[in-house]
Amino acid sequence: MSVLELTAEDFDEMTAAGTVLVDFWAVWCGPCKMQAPIVDAFAEKRTDVRVCKVNVDEQPALAARFGIMSIPTLMVFKDGQAARRQVGLSSLEEIEELCK
């Protein structure tokens, strides 16, 4: 499954149902660049989880809404509610655990 880029306009709709992993990132962020292929691999492996990204430079209101202070930050939403959060570079195994 491909990773979807979210904006403030579609965020609530795209995270409303099921389990959704959201990667808050920025182009200039070295650890975010390292996180990207891991998130992509997770998206390919777990088709039961919608995987999305939010560029914090392009969507500062979303970053502020969720108190994103450091990137990369991964958040899991379950049926529209923020359920879990992990800050910093995460392994595939850590992402699997986060989405349980």
- Are 39 and 22 contacting, i.e. CB atoms less than 8 angstroms apart? no
Domains of the chain: 4-98 (3.40.30.10)
The residue from 22, 32, 54, 62 that is catalytic is 32
Q: Is 52 a catalytic residue?
A: no
pLDDT tens profile 4-22? 999 999 999 999 999 999 9
- Are 62 and 12 contacting, i.e. CB atoms less than 8 angstroms apart? no
pLDDT band per the 50, 70, 90 thresholds, residue 2: confident
Q: Is 99 a catalytic residue?
A: no
pTM of the entire predicted model? 0.96
- Are 24 and 35 contacting, i.e. CB atoms less than 8 angstroms apart? no
The residue from 20, 21, 22, 29 that is catalytic is 29
